[in-house]
Structure 1
Amino acid sequence: MLHASDPSSLFLLILGVAVLAVGGCRSDQSVDPDRSLAERADSLTRTHLVVDGHVDVPYRLMRYRQNVGDSTFGDFDYPRAKTGGLDAPFMSIYIPVELQDSAGAAKTRADSLIHLVETIEAENPGKFEIATSPDDIEQIAAAGKIALPMGMENGAGLEDDLANVEYFYNRGIRYITLTHATHNRIGDASYDTTAARWGGLSPFGEEVVAEMNRLGIMVDISHVTDSTAYDVLDVTSKPVIASHSSCRHFTPGWERNLSDDLIRAIAENDGVVMINFGSSFLREDYQDANEPVQEQIQAHIDEQGWAEDDVRAVAYADSVRTANPIGSVSDVADHIDHVVNLVGIEHVGLGSDYDGVFSLPRDLQDASTYPNLVEELLRRQYSDADIARILGGNALRVWRENER
C-alpha cells in the first residue's frame, strides 16, 4: 500500500515532529518545578492497571495497515502504550452504519475486525494478548504485555439474530455499544437527526440486553438517545458502561454526551462513565474548531494528488492534526471532576476514543500521555487510591459484576 519512494525516512521525520508537538512541554524536566509530581504520575500509571474503554485502532488498521507492535502513525501503538502505562485498551470492533441494513455485511465486518485483533496478537506474541476477563488483564499485565479486550461498537453486527450475541461472546466480545450514528434494530441513536424509530429501546433490543446480561457482556450506552439509555437502565440486571462519553454539562444540547440526570441514573445502576478525550466532547466551543485544520489537510492532499492511503497523505494528516491540539488536559480533568462531584469517585473511568476522533487536547495526543492526565489529577488533590479507580479499578469492577 505504500507509494512513497522512501516511506521510512518520511515516517521518522513526521514522527519527530509529532513527538516534539506532544511532548515538548516536558522535555526539560531539570527546570520543571512539578518534576516530582510528574514522576509520581508516571509511577501511578505503572503501578495501577490502566484500562481504556475505547480505542479505534482496528478500524484504522483496516484502512491503513501497519504493525502496531512498532511505532506507527495514529494515536496507538505498543511503544507509546508502554510509555503511557496503558495495560488494557478495549479494541473497538466498529460497524459502519452503511453495513447495518445489508444482509450479512455487518456480521462479516465484525468478524474481519476481530480477526485483525487476533493478527495483532499473532504478529506480536511478546507484546499483546487478547483478554476476555479482568483476570486475563491482570495476568497479561503481570507478564509485561498489553491486554487487548474487545468491544463491538454498533450492535448492528448482531443483525436480527439473538443467537449472534452468544456467537460474538465466543469470539471475545465483552461489551456492545448498542447503536452508533443511526437508529438500528436495537434502539435509537443520538446522532441520528431523523424521527425516532422506536422511541428508545426496541423489543428486540430488550431481548439483546437480557441476553448480554445472561452471558456477561457489558451493555454500553454511548451513542444512544436518552430514551434508549433509560429503557436500558429499566431492563438491565447488570451495571452498564458508557465506554467513551463525556458530560453534557460542557456541551449543552448535545445528546451524544451524558446529561447530569443520566449520569446519576448510571451511578444508581452501579455503572461507570468513561470520559472521552476527543476535543469536540470537551467544550461546546471546540466542536467546530477542527474544521479549518481538516480543510487545510484535504486541500494539501488534493493539491499533491495523493491517494488517501498514500503514506505521504497519512503522514501529513497525522502531523498537522497533532500540531494543532484543541483544548488541554485540564478539560478532560474537568469532566472527571464533574462526574465525581455528581455521583462519586466510583463511577468514572477513561474512554479516550484514540484513533476514533480527529482532534485531541494538548498533552493528551496519544497513548503515551496518560501520565499527563494523572499529573493534572494530582494537582487537583486526587488521592492515589482515587486515581487507581479512575485509571481502571472502576471499569474492572463493573466488568466483574457483569461476569457474575
Structure 2
Amino acid sequence: MSAYKEFRIGWPVVLASMVGIAFGMSPLPFYTIGVFAGPLAGEFGWGIGKVMTGLAVFTVAAMIASPLIGTLSDRLGVRRVALSSIFLFSLSFMAFALNNGSIVLYYTLWALLAFCGAGTLPMTFTRAISGWFHEKRGLALGIALIGTGVSGALTKLFAAWVISEAGWRAAYVAVGLLPMLISLPIGLLMFRDIDDPKASERAARLVRLHNDGNVTMKLYGLTLRQALADWRFWLLAAVFVPLSFAIGGPIPNMETLLGAKGMSNSEAVFLASTLGYAVFAGRLLGGFLLDHLWAPLVACVLLMLPALSMFLMTGDDLRWSTTLLSVLLLGLAAGMEYDLLAYLVSRYFGIRAYAGIYGMLYAFFALGAGFGPAIFGRSFEATGSYNAALTFSMWAFIFCSLALLLLGPYRDDKLRAMVD
C-alpha cells in the first residue's frame, strides 16, 4: 500500500505534468496538422506533401533543440525550463496565423516552434516524475502522459470546428492559446522537482514513507557521456527511428489515407479522432504493466500489435469495423511510446543526466516521427496509395519490438547503490 501512497505526495507533479504535456509540443502540432493541411494546401496551392514536410523541418530543429534543452534542464532545473518553454511555445504556435503563402516562412515557423517548445516535451516533466515515484513510476508516467491522447482527440476536433466557423488563421490562434491559458497557471502552482527547496517537506515525507533505502534525493545514474558509451543507448536509438516512423507516419495522414480508401471526410475525421482515445488507453495500460512486468516484454507485445493495423490498412476496401480496429491498435502503440522511453531511461541510466539522455534519444525518435508523415505523404502523391509505406511500417513494428528484448535486466538499483 505504501507504493500507492506515493500518489498522495506526488500527485501535484503528476497533474501539472499531465496538463503540460497535453498542451505541449508532442501532441498539438502532430495531431492538428492533418486538419490544417487541407485549408493550407487549398489557399496557397501547396500539395499535401509540402504541408507535411513542415513536420520534417520541425523534426530537424527538434533533433538539435531537444538534447540542448535536456542538458539545460539537468543544469538549471526542469521547472524553470518547462514553464518558460510553455509560454514561448504558445506564442510560436499562434504565429502560424501569419502565413502569407510563402513556403519559406511556413517552414521557418516550424523550426521556431521546435526551439521554443522543446522544453514542453516529456523529457522535462517525466524527469520530475521519475524523482517523485519509484515503485509506481510506470503508472505515474502513464497517467501524466495520457494528456497527449486526450488533447490529441479534442484539439483535432476543436481545430476543425474553429476552421469551419472562423477559418484556419483563427484556429491557429485558438489552439495556440491553450498552453498559455491552461498549462502555464497549473505549472506555476504545482510543478516542482524533488530537489526543489520549496518541495523539501513533501520530499522528506516520501523518503520516510519508504524507509528502505530505495528512495533517495541524490542524483544517481550515468552521466550523459557514460550513457553515450553504453551499447543500450545505441540499441534504443536504432530501434526508435523505424519504430517512430511506423507510429508517426500514418497518424497525420490518417484523414487522407481513409479518404483515399473511399470514406467521406466526416467519417475520416471521426475515425482519426478515435486515435486519441486509444492513446489514452495505451498510456494507462502500458504504465500499469510497466510496474508489474519487465518493460521490454510489455513493449514487445503492445508494439507488435499495430503490425496487424498496417496489414489491414493495405486492403482496397476497408470496412468500418476493420478500420476502427486498425486505428485503435495503432493508438495503443502511440500511447506506449513516450512512457516507455521515459521508463527505460530511468531504469537503465538513472536520473543524474535523465533529461539530457532522454533528449538525445528523443532526437532519434523525432527522426522517424518527423520525417514519417512527409514520406507517407510523398509516397501517396507518387503512387496514389499509402500501401508501400504501410508495408514497411508493418515490418518495422515486428523487428523493432523483438529487438527491445535484448536490453537485459534493469540497472537502476545498481546505479542507486553507487551513490549511497
What TM-score range do you get, normalising by the shorter chain?
Answer: under 0.3
Q: Which has the higher strand share?
A: 1
Q: Which has the higher helix share?
A: 2
TM score, norm. by length of structure 1: 0.26
TM score, norm. by length of structure 2: 0.25
